[in-house]
Structure 1
Amino acid sequence: MSRKKNFFAGPSVLPMEVLQQLHEDLLDYKGSGLSMVEASHRGQPFEDMYHECLNLLRELMGIPENYDIFFLGGGATLQFSMIPMNFLRPGTVADYIKSGTWANKATSDAKKLGDVHLYYDGTENNFTSLPDPKSVKPSPNSSYLYLCSNETIGGIEWQDWPDVGDVPLIADMSSDLLSRAVPVEKFAMIYGGVQKNLGPAGATLVILRKDMLERQNKNLTAYLDYRLHAEGEGLYNTPPVFSIWAVKLVLEWIKKNGGAEGMAKRAQLKSSIIYDAIDSSDGYYRSPVDAAYRSKMNIVFRLGSDELEKKFLAETKAAGMLGLKGHRSVGGLRASIYNSLPVEDVQALADLMKEFQRVNG
């Protein structure tokens, strides 16, 4: 089979060996006589697989014991509401850093549920930069400070983290989970859809410091209550079994390839290949993002005209490269180069960029 080069922003590329393992075990999981996607979430073999997955996450991310780990449905979008429902207490504010499309959506939902203070609003710079982490200070009466670690559409990424003292720091890490080492202990909560770096669509990872459950608002309906999910290890209702199984296999692949540190080296190498092609083009390719906050996961760039961009996309498609069109809300071009994308595919894109400039420059 001829594999395409997958630059889609999500659902995104998975390691070939993970896909092969899913294929091999789909009908008969490890000789159990049934498929994992048929197995009850209240018994083996699911429970064994599930706890192996949670243990791998704790190991690879360095998650301390005072954090709960579980998976939910509803994508990151459900968390935009669940977070303020649970943690935005009456008489306080929630600080939000409005850094792009996904942080903006989270801010909009939170405003419907309580008082929101915009610590930072990137509207004026068209969401091409971020505040200096050292300058970030939450409000005196803040329930939490919220940020999105990597904006997939805008191509900006936090390179360091604010120190917010006793105020809980909450981060949406959907698009850069396990692409680098993260000091989990700095955060009260980390969450993210798994369909970028960790697996197929369908599951949302939640990493929640246990003391946050003492800060919860009361009288929440069952599924929207983090306490209920934490107490049941995410098994209050039927979990997204297939997605979790695939995540477990991807985590094994990450461990085999150097863990978070290995993924960070891959991300640095792959992103530098594309950014070097942009920066050495004498302005033929342009990245609108502040160089201090360039994403290593989602590289956005432009050509001199819409016509050139259409021609570029046609040539990449002919070369078996998919997903390079920028998000419909901003246009342009975007290369998403998540953990599982081979270095060779990234180099092929950079080579095509240079040849396209030579011919059309």
Structure 2
Amino acid sequence: MTNTPALKPERPFFSSGPTAKFKGWSANNLKTEALGRSHRSAVGKARLKYAIDLTKELLGVPDDYLVGIMPGSDTGALECAMWTMLGARPATVAAWESFGNVWIQDAVKQLKLADLTTLDADYGKIPNLASIPQDNDVVFTWNGTTSGAKIPNTDWLEPGRAGITINDATSAVFAMEMDWAKLDATTFSWQKVMGSEAQHGMLILSPKAVERIESYDPQWPLPKLFRIKKGDKLNRAIFEGATINTPSMLATEDYIAALEWAKSIGGRQAMFERADANARIVTDWIEATPWLRNMVPDPAQRTNTGVCFVFQGDYYDSLSPEDQAYVPKQIAKQLEQLDVGYDFNGYRDAPPSLRIWCGGTVEQEDLRRLLPWIEWAYTELQK
């Protein structure tokens, strides 16, 4: 029999997006000088430029790469990269979870690329990336937000490869080091690893990506939100604090606050270490719990952000598929009602599972307090 745990997490925020604010965050601490001002004013543009510069500094982005703020969160930034660069040469889109499969659908049904190869794998696994021709453009997701499977390395990308590389890094950046030399377009959103507000994305371009954009005009029409050229050249103002449409200056200040906090604790290396330590707490618990299994069988491919796990064992296996799907939903619902943990049910398209966010804005003690409550809730279900 499992007793009711004595302690609840102080900060029960375990959502995989938007993720937890950093400890000590308060709306009262956000700077407000730019609020109520035009984003094109000197103060507004300066704050947007500061967010760009701080992002570049913290992520160690090379000096000759460009960083810009895009509308539409990571989706807008990633689709902008696809719409403006793909179609110039053969392409491969690789996916192993729901968001990667959206990029496949974009390539197949929307862009209708003539020379396209798609690679996919079941949740928890990664396709054979080494099979991708180096001449091909490639679109991939560094870390599977809804499966917990990440690429273990970039050995499958050759230095100086002919094709461009488009990398959806939204649940990886600030938790895993990016191999910038092999990445041409990298995208993420403020609301993932940094726990900031949604609807704003970041687009990071290599010189090779810039050359592709300036030398190539796709055959399909581009929505205004994807138009990053001015004449035949990249509109570099976008990467200096101008934006394609009106951004939220309040969300910008929230993102800046998170960046400044990350810098104050030691920058991206500290964020990596925090995510690693958090994920270790959860993955070690999964390994020690016989009725749980990490969704990702290969330890080298397991994420340190959104750790996903499924149920197993005699009780769970005896249930109908409908009742099996009910188990994680009910646990997540019950613990939310008790203010123990919020929003950690598995993604709707994933196998029935739980998904605990372990990124650097989460505290270790809160994770340690959450896990006994999951054990308790599972025991309560069996009564």
Deviation at 1:175, TM superposition (A): 1.3
Question: Structure 2 vs 1, CA of residues 215 and 280 (structure 1 numbering), >3 Å: closer, same or farther?
Answer: same
Q: In the alignment, what sits opposite 1:109? A: 106
Match of residue 293, structure 2, among 268, 286, 297: 286
Match of residue 132, structure 2, among 117, 131, 137: 137
Q: In the alignment, what sits opposite 1:23? A: 28
Cα RMSD of the aligned pairs, angstroms, is: 2.5
Q: In the alignment, what sits opposite 2:151? A: 158
Q: In the alignment, what sits opposite 2:61? A: 63
Question: Structure 2 vs 1, CA of residues 327 and 137 (structure 1 numbering), >3 Å: closer, same or farther?
Answer: closer
Q: Normalization by structure 2: what TM-score?
A: 0.81
| RCO comparison, higher one (Cα < 8 Å, 6+) | 2
Query: Which segments of 5 or more consecutive residues in structure 2 lack a partner in the other structure?
Result: 1-8, 317-323
Match of residue 124, structure 2, among 128, 141, 144: 128
- One-letter identity of the residue aligned with 1:152: T
Deviation at 1:351, TM superposition (A): 3.1
- One-letter identity of the residue aligned with 2:328: E
1:110–1:116 Cα contact (<8 Å) kept:
no
1:53–1:248 Cα contact (<8 Å) kept:
yes
Distance in 1 of aligned mates of 2:98 and 2:19: 19
Deviation at 1:166, TM superposition (A): 3.0
Deviation at 1:116, TM superposition (A): 5.2
Is 1:147 matched up with 2:121? Answer: no
Deviation at 1:3, TM superposition (A): 5.8
Question: Structure 2 vs 1, CA of residues 160 and 213 (structure 1 numbering), >3 Å: closer, same or farther?
Answer: same
Deviation at 1:311, TM superposition (A): 4.9
Distance in 1 of aligned mates of 2:284 and 2:48: 41
Distance in 2 of aligned mates of 1:25 and 1:98: 38
Q: In the alignment, what sits opposite 1:271? A: 279
Deviation at 1:190, TM superposition (A): 0.5
Deviation at 1:302, TM superposition (A): 2.0
Question: Structure 2 vs 1, CA of residues 315 and 221 (structure 1 numbering), >3 Å: closer, same or farther?
Answer: closer
- One-letter identity of the residue aligned with 1:10: G
Q: How many aligned residue pairs are there? A: 343
Question: Structure 2 vs 1, CA of residues 240 and 359 (structure 1 numbering), >3 Å: closer, same or farther?
Answer: closer
Question: Structure 2 vs 1, CA of residues 136 and 247 (structure 1 numbering), >3 Å: closer, same or farther?
Answer: farther
Distance in 1 of aligned mates of 2:163 and 2:10: 47
Distance in 1 of aligned mates of 2:62 and 2:235: 15
Q: In the alignment, what sits opposite 1:32? A: none
Q: Say which is worse superposed, 69-78 or 111-120, in terms of deviation.
A: 111-120
SS at match of 1:156: coil
Match of residue 263, structure 2, among 239, 247, 255: 255
Match of residue 295, structure 1, among 287, 303, 314: 303
SS at match of 1:327: coil
1:68–1:233 Cα contact (<8 Å) kept:
no
- One-letter identity of the residue aligned with 1:349: L
